[in-house]
Every structure is written in C-alpha cells, then in structure tokens.
Structure 1
Amino acid sequence: ECVAGYDPADPDTRAIARPPFARIAAEEPPLPPWIAFVRTPMWERAETETAAAFDELVAHLADRVEERALPDDLRAAWDWHRTIMEADIASNYAAEYERGADRLSESLRRQIERGRSTLAIDYLRALAQVPRLNDGFEALFDRFDAILTPSAPGSAPMGLDSTGDPSFCTLWTLCGMPAITLPLLAGDNGMPIGVQLVARRGDDARLLRTAQWLVRCAAAA
C-alpha cells in the first residue's frame, strides 16, 4: 500500500482510490478459490523434482485446481518480451553506455547492444501484442481466481551470484499481471521451489487473499 497508487508520471496508473491490500489479504475468501494449474510453453525446462513437486501439490489441492493448457503460439511472447526489454534497457542506460560501456557487466552490455539494434517496427509490434495477450486470458480469469505455476525451472540457486532462470515469470511480466511466489516446496538441496500464483491484471488484492488461502491449505497437508 505504501508504493501503490496514482503517479502522474506513469501512464499505466489511474486516479482512483488505492485498494486496501492488507485488509483484503487478511480476509477469508467469500468462496474457496478456483485455481488453474498452467504448465506454460516453458514446461520442458522444469527440472524433474519441480515437476514431481507440482504434481503432488496439484493432487493435494485436487478439489480446487484444474489444469488448463495455453496455446502453443504463446511461445512468441518470450521473443516479444525480450524485444521490449532490451530496447528499454538500451534507452534507460544510454548515458551510462556512452560514458563507459567498458565498465558495465558483459551481460548488461550485450543486452544494451542488442537493444540498440532493435528496429522501431519490431518494438512497436511487440508492444501491440500485450493488450491482445491480456484479452486472451480474460476467459480463464472469468472462471479461475488465479493461475498456479512454477516461478523457476528448479529450486532457488545457492549463493547470490544469480537469481536463476526467469523464463517461468516472463509471460506474466510481459502482460503486467500481478504475481507472487510462495516458498511452499523444497528441492533436494533444501532450497525452496517457488510456487507462483498469477492473477488478472489489476487484481492484486484478490491475489494476496488467494495466496493466504493457499498457504493455509499447504500447511494443512
């Protein structure tokens, strides 16, 4: 609630009352939520222990979870996200790149250079897909309160060198959908396997309430 609200410098915000996130999150859902288990087109990246852990979780929640498949053509969304992200990075870090590209990390420098070579028409075409993607999820969110999916292919990496593979978050980031990761499962290394819940764009408060419900259900296992 401290960071949410209208910002005249942000065209994606609206001048409406700030939702009472904390109060809604603490409430009991009026009805037990319905959850859609979605593997996404990135499922082949899921490690064996992640796939097994989610199969077990879905079985535990069987009376409130249904599996739903996403269209194969959604694979293009990962390319659209990369096009937008790298062009934006190139724009946002233009001054730093010009002053000292050699002092930037190799990974960031490569992203900036790819972004600088992105054609305007490709960038605009990628941006134009975002509303279409959100529209495509409307029917699913009319039926379900949230999507259940992994937040990463495997358990959290040890150490601070990397945050891991973000591919299981990319689609929701591109769509601007609220998502939360819950450390409800664990890998063989003792590190958490993230359980990600995703809600319709703008439905942040109900997502927090659904997450609280899921935590209680998992604790009762």
Structure 2
Amino acid sequence: MRLLLLEDNVSLADSLCALFKEAGYVVDWRADGRDGQHLGEQEPYDLVVLDLGLPGRSGLDILRNWRAAGIDVPVLILTARGSWSERVEGLKAGADDYLGKPFHHEELLLRVQALLRRSHGRDPQPWLEAGGLRLDEQRQQVSGPGFEDIALSASEFKLLRYLMLHAGKVLSKSRLSDHLYDYEADRDSNVIEVQINHLRRKLGRDAIATRRGQGYVFVGLEP
C-alpha cells in the first residue's frame, strides 16, 4: 500500500516515514503544499496523511482541490491545530479522519489501517481475511487451512496484503508496481513475478492465479 505524507516538520516526517515503512507501507514525502498537491494528482496513492499548515499551499486548499477534481483518495488530517472549528472545516473539505498532534504512533497506524480497510469494503478488525487466509498485519504473518503463522518477508507481506484487499480482481503488474513502489523507485516488473512465486511456495500454487496478458488474481485457499 502506497502512502503520501505531506508534512513540513522534517524530524516528524523522518520518524513517520520510518514508522510507515516498518509497518509495510511505501511512502512518498513532500514538505511543500504545491508539490504535494501535484504528486497527489499524478500518482495512484492508497491514502494521504496531510498536515494543514504547509508552506506553498495549505492542507485545506489541497484537499478541496483534490475533491473538486474527483480525487477520492482517503485522507487523514494530521495537525497541531486542535480547535473543533478547524476539525469541522477539515471534514467539510473532504477529510476521512482527523488526528491532532501530539499523537501516539500506534493510534496513527490503527487509524491508517482502518481507513484502508473501509476504503476496500473491509471490516477494521485486527487482521485481514480473504480466501480462507488470515493476515496478521502487525506480525506480518499469514495463517490458513493446514498451516499457522507463516512469516513473510517485507516484500512478500506488502504484496500479499494488496492482493488480499483486492481478492478476486485481476491486478496487472503495472498496477501492483504503482502501489508497491515509491515515486523514486526503479520499477522492475520481474520483481513482482519473483515475489508472486515466493508467495505460491509458501501458500500453495492455487492461492494466486495468473491471467495471461492481464496479471494476477488472489484466489486464496478455502478449507
């Protein structure tokens, strides 16, 4: 899952980038509001963490412009502005959630997880379930019929989470690359194929189907 972080406090942004990456998210960070708005218009993000007090263009203006343009990416406002009126303005502008500074990292991760689940029609429970498999996002382990708690590498975890959130849908290599690599990454579609094969060895070959010329479909393993 790919996140856009718009935050002008460099030390906070560094810590949040490290936090999100450890949790299996890919993060692009921008400190200037104009750059952030442009990137949000050009790239297919799964969620945006947005500060209101950005230089160049305010967070509220960015959000209003995105919504006016039909960009419906989930947005979590993260700001030191704590008055109820500012919270209301953020929600009216189209924010999906609001978290004031200071905050606990665990709460931020849980709110991000819940927003991502809801945006894909899933219940915000502690694990992700699809196709008979259960993915523990905190421990980055998967369980299923006949096996428990298989550890996943960071790349395997990111790929499996995205596949499970889109269970039954054909996902092209280019779409997977767009959501599993950051803006600066050198995207090699062969890496996706390698990671698919790694997951098949751990889960069984039938868990992920290939659609020739189209991509991959997460089928899962029903008991």
Q: TM-score, normalised by structure 1?
A: 0.30
Higher relative contact order (CA 8 A, sep 6+): 1
Structure having the larger proportion of residues in strand: 2
Q: TM-score, normalised by structure 2?
A: 0.30
